[in-house]
Amino acid sequence: MFKSVRLAIACGVAKSVTAVVRGLKLSAGSVLTGAIARRIFPNVLPELFLRAKKGVILVVGTNGKTTTSLLIKAILTAQGYKIAHNATGANLINGLATALIENTDLFGRLNIDYAILEVDENIVPLLLKTSTPTHIVALNLFRDQLDRYGEVDTISKRWQTAIAPLPESTTIIVNGDDPTLNHFGQQLSQNVKFFGLSEPHLYLDAIPHAVDSIYCPQCGASLNYKGVYLSHLGDYHCDSCGFTKNPLDIDSNDWGQILIGVYNKYNTLAAGLLAENLGIHRDVINEEISHFKAAFGRAEELEVDGKAVRILLSKNPVGMNETIRAVNDLQKQGKTSSALVILNDRAPDGTDVSWIWDVDMEKLAECPGKIIISGDRTHDMALRLHYCQGKAELTIETNLQKAIQMALDATPPTQTLHILPTYSAMLEVRQSLLGRKIL
| DSSP conformation letters of 330-354 | HHHTTS--EEEEE---STTT-S--G
> Any idea what DSSP says for residue 222?
B
> pLDDT tens, 251-299?
999 999 999 999 999 999 999 999 999 999 999 999 999 999 998 888 9
Q: So what's the pLDDT on residue 27?
A: 73
Residue 370 CA to residue 273 CA, distance in Å, equals 40
> Any idea what DSSP says for residue 366?
T
Q: So what's the pLDDT on residue 439?
A: 64
Among 3.20.20.80, 3.90.1150.10, 3.40.1190.10, 1.10.10.10, name the CATH number for the domain at 2-290.
Answer: 3.40.1190.10
CA-closest candidate to residue 103, choices 113, 93, 90, 94: 113
353-368 b/e (C-beta count within 10 Å ≥ 16 → b): bebbebbbbebbbbbe
161-172 b/e (C-beta count within 10 Å ≥ 16 → b): ebbeebeeebbb
Put simply, whether the predicted model's pTM sits higher than 0.85 gets the answer yes
> Which residues in the chain come in under a pLDDT of 70?
1-2, 144-151, 210, 212, 439
Check if the beta carbon of residue 262 is closer than 8 Å to that of residue 228.
Answer: no
Residue 298 CA to residue 264 CA, distance in Å, equals 10
CA-closest candidate to residue 331, choices 226, 230, 257, 260: 260
Q: So what's the pLDDT on residue 92?
A: 95
Where are the domain boundaries for CATH 3.40.1190.10 in the chain?
2-290
State how far Cα 382 lies from the chain centre: 26
CA-closest candidate to residue 250, choices 229, 226, 274: 274
- In one-letter notation, the amino acid at residue 191 is N
**Angle, CA 166 vertex, CA 162 and CA 172 arms, to 5°:** 85
Q: So what's the pLDDT on residue 182?
A: 97
Between strands 307-312 and 298-304, the pairing is antiparallel
| 189-192 contacts, C-beta under 8 A, 24 or more apart | 189/164, 190/163, 190/166
Looking at domain 298-434, does it have CATH number 3.40.1390.20? no
Q: So what's the pLDDT on residue 147?
A: 45
Could you tell me what percentage of the chain is helix, strand and coil, using 3-state DSSP and rounding each to the nearest 5?
40, 20, 40
Show the DSSP H helices in 141-196 as ranges: 152-163, 179-186
Check if the beta carbon of residue 53 is closer than 8 Å to that of residue 256.
Answer: no
